[in-house]
Amino acid sequence: MNIEELQKDMCTRPNVYVFPVKLENILIFESGFLVATGEWSQPCSKVEFKSINRVFSVYSGYWIAQWYTDNIDCNYKLDDAQIFEILQSITKSEDEAIKLYFSLCKNFFDEFRAKKSEYWDKLALKICGVWSIPISQCEDDITSNNIEETLNQMMMRPKMYPMEIASFYYMIRGELCGRGAFPPVLVPDFQSVDSVFASFFDVWAIQRIAGNINCKYESKNMSLPEILLSIEKTEEKAVTMFFSLCQEFFMLFHKNQPEYWAKIAKEGWG
């Protein structure tokens, strides 16, 4: 699956990927997806683009900002570009902003197929001049073999990531999607930490919270990030609690054999 295919599926069933369905959550999810595919890059002249994922990760934000300056506000400063702020400022609702985003992305994908590589080379130099992203920043990518390694690296380098719990959560979901583990399948790979985490972590975490804090959090009307924030009150504490739950879950994963997870899949947590 590439970013274009992901967006086509998100258009038809967005709540499978993010809940609540918000543009900012979708953008964070997509960034995690691109990181997992190994094709996420900051805008800079050193970028090599060999796929639609790579070109999208580098150019889509600038491309949408340029569309905004060409069609809405010619005085807009491109170095201030924030996609969700731009689209929300010209739409009346979250749904309208999301529809506009996917519509613009479809046009971007069409342009990707229509333009030759020389076009993107020139645009890369132009973007680097506007946003002035240091090349060293592009070389400081974090790579991991699974979601457990990713979370461990995040805990070691928290300043590289946003401190909002929803952003952490949907970045992780996006990475699981990029690894092929999310959305969960009917019969997960019980030997894969990615597959087991994607299939069971949310239900396990909510039941863990309900059993230790308050049973009201078993309600399906709240997402896990919303639950954590409602308990801890601050973003930083909610993120800390999320990491703690993840570590406990990984210990549970390594402690038990695949048969244990197969039984959970069949019978539930009980």
Q: Terminal CA-to-CA distance of the chain, rounded, Å?
A: 35
**d(C-alpha 97, C-alpha 263), whole Å:** 42
Whole-prediction pTM value? 0.87
pLDDT in tens, 87-111: 988 999 999 999 999 999 999 999 9
The predicted pLDDT at position 80 comes to 57
Instruction: Spell out, as residue ranges, where the chain has pLDDT lower than 70.
Output: 40-50, 77-81, 124-143, 158-162, 213-220, 270
The predicted pLDDT at position 97 comes to 95
pLDDT in tens, 71-82: 988 777 665 557
* Sign of the torsion formed by the C-alpha atoms of 40, 160, 148 and 252: negative
Domain ranges, ordered by start, for the chain: 3-138, 147-267
**d(C-alpha 146, C-alpha 238), whole Å:** 23
**d(C-alpha 119, C-alpha 116), whole Å:** 6
**d(C-alpha 263, C-alpha 22), whole Å:** 35
Q: Please count the residues of the chain.
A: 270
Q: Is the CB of residue 199 less than 8 Å from the CB of residue 265? A: yes
